[in-house]
Chains A and B, each alone.
Chain A
Amino acid sequence: MIKKLSSYKKGQPLIKNAYMSYALFGLFLALMPLFGYLGIIKSSYVTIIASVIYYSIAALGLNVLLGWTGLISLGTAGFMGLAAYISAYITYNMHLPFEIALVTAVVVSTLLGVLVGYISLRIEGIYLAIATLAVAEILRKTFEVFDPFTGGASGKPISYPTLFFFYKYSRADLKIFETLLYLILVLFLIAVMILVHNLMKGQVGRALNALRGSEAAAQAMGINLLKYRLFAFGFASATASLAGVLYVHYNRYTNPDRWLLALSLNLVAAIIIGGVRNIYGTILGVFIVVATKDMVLAQIPYFANNPNFALMFNGILIILIILYYPYGLIRIGADLKKLVVKIKEKF
């Protein structure tokens, strides 16, 4: 009896100190350009891993909203795009440093996110999904028609921004800027991971869990639904806009087609595949959704010749996981360990 019940206990992580594990993970990611340079990995992989990083930043915030708080948003791409355009405009057209652009872009789209959160108090479930989707679509249309700011449908190419308020880009420093921006991506990812970790393990995380698990209990325990819903929406839009800013400066380009509903849906899928309410799970999920196609499946001749099947593979994976593995692939390690223990006990 005790044995059986204890299987519902929380699993123990591989590295006990969470901060240590985040630091090591960050170091590992930071070494990728070096690995690329040394030929240990294809240098094109660094770009793919960079995309995993910025999408993971957005996905972590979305997990706070979707996983912890239980509220759906299909607007992530819209908020990412908005911040990307704002930051591109401020650095490229107004010639202001990266840091100023970053703060402005994040603040503006976070405020918009909070506004959407306010709407969420009145509507729920599928209606909320549609409302957030509508906001994102309106934003995307705006990117198309607001030519002078956005470059319209043909997109907006920009050059690298001024970093740290003094370091101006020149062609000779191309490699350095590329690497610096990559390292900035890693730094922000680790910061967001730690932020989510700290917030979700304590009072705020419990409050969001309560919002999802039982609104009645939450209210009876003094949790202000409005305040925490706004927080969740604000947090998700803040990370989405941070990701958007990093996206546009790393890629030095954006166009309206980068911010389609498909992206928002992919991020939701990543969370479900990787692990709801799980930090590493989120990143694993993003990796599976955005990188396996190019880094794993492309190695298999069949998928290399039929790239559309790679997309189907992702779809099937999502369905299978929802049906049979609702806590996401990140649990696979712990579950395998349990299985081994079980088998050992039998023999």
Chain B
Amino acid sequence: MDELQNKTVLSIQDLSISFGGIKAVDHLSFDVDEGEIFGLIGPNGAGKTTVFNCITQFYKPNHGSIRFKSKQGKTIELTTHKVHEVIGYGLVRTFQNVELIKELSILDNVLIGGHIDFKTSFIGQAFNTKKSKAEEALYRQEAIEILTFLGIADRKDWLVYGQPYGILKKIELARSLMCKPKLIILDEPAAGLNDLETLDFAKVIRQIRQRYNCSILLVEHDMRLVMDVCDRICAINFGKFLAVGTPGQIQKSPTVQAAYLGTENPA
């Protein structure tokens, strides 16, 4: 396997996966650079979520390679790793259909994002040792800081159950920040936000990049947000590559326009 070049953090090459007869992703290639906010766009059913599932190993692709420059500074082939190992390399994701634990408080949900950082053993936790307590307190503090950063710290002790959709999306985002990621993959993070909140959210995304010195790969249907916040965008349709470039280039691309005109308004 070739090492990734200096500025590339994620390199997808010739990725394909099909379900039955449907080619959900079809020979797709693109690269994400360090510190880049990168958008993946396409009409409904284009295969965006499937690409995310392949990167994070929820699906094993039929073909292709997905290389990642890990937090530890090594280039790794993600397809050879198990799904729960991925976060350890500094690659974390959120879900399009929120995946939270309803019966837990918001704070506890965020703390799940710190799971792999806990070093205390089962035994240490069973005896509630000093080290265990200190570790718990440390990550609790970190979680509260993240919630404060996202503006929802006042609700930290409330159950996730019954929270509005926009808040749920923020809790998932907060959870993904706990591991101090190198690359965050966000699947429709602004769903459920109103216009004003969406504007605000663009700021948050930029702040996240700065704070964590990370790259962000996002899928989003709100085109104003995507065009505003992304450095580069890759457009796909029917699992196939259409174009990659700056927001300006993508907007002007005739193939992208054709894909979107062929379907309903994506926003």
CA A218 to CA B115, docked complex, whole Å: 9
Q: Could you write out 21 A-B pairs with CB less than 8 Å apart?
A: A8-B159, A9-B158, A199-B122, A199-B125, A199-B126, A206-B111, A209-B104, A209-B108, A209-B112, A210-B115, A213-B100, A213-B101, A214-B99, A214-B100, A214-B101, A217-B101, A219-B83, A220-B93, A220-B95, A221-B112, A221-B113
Q: Which A-chain residue is minimally distant from B185 (CB atoms)? A: A220
Given A10-B105, A221-B87, verify A198-B115 contact (CB < 8 Å): no
Minimum CB–CB distance from B3 to chain A (whole Å) comes to 25
Partner of B87, one of A5, A204, A216, A220: A220
Q: Which A residues, 190 to 207, have Cβ-Cβ distances below 8 Å to chain B?
A: 195, 198-199, 202-204, 206-207
Q: Is the Cβ of B175 less than 8 Å from the Cβ of A221?
A: yes
Chain B residues in 8 Å Cβ range of A210? 101, 112, 115
Q: A10-B157, A202-B136, A220-B99 are in contact. List 14 more A-B contacts (CB 8 A).
A: A5-B155, A5-B158, A9-B159, A206-B111, A206-B115, A207-B112, A209-B103, A209-B108, A210-B112, A214-B101, A218-B84, A220-B86, A221-B115, A231-B122
Q: Is A6 an interface residue, CB under 8 A from the partner?
A: yes
Minimum CB–CB distance from A60 to chain B (whole Å) comes to 13
Task: Enumerate chain B interface residues (CB-CB to A < 8 A).
Answer: 56, 58, 83-88, 92-93, 95, 99-105, 108, 111-113, 115-116, 118, 120, 122, 125-128, 132, 136, 155, 157-159, 161-162, 175, 179
Chain B residues in 8 Å Cβ range of A5? 155, 158, 162
Q: Is the Cβ of B116 less than 8 Å from the Cβ of A222?
A: yes
Given A214-B101, A216-B58, A221-B175, verify A198-B126 contact (CB < 8 Å): yes
Chain A residues in 8 Å Cβ range of B105? 10
Q: Tell me the interface secondary structure of chain A in the complex.
A: helix
Partner of B104, one of A204, A206, A221, A224: A206
Chain A residues in 8 Å Cβ range of B162? 5, 8
Q: Is A225 an interface residue, CB under 8 A from the partner?
A: yes
Q: Is the Cβ of B111 less than 8 Å from the Cβ of A222?
A: no
Minimum CB–CB distance from B78 to chain A (whole Å) comes to 13
Minimum CB–CB distance from B37 to chain A (whole Å) comes to 21
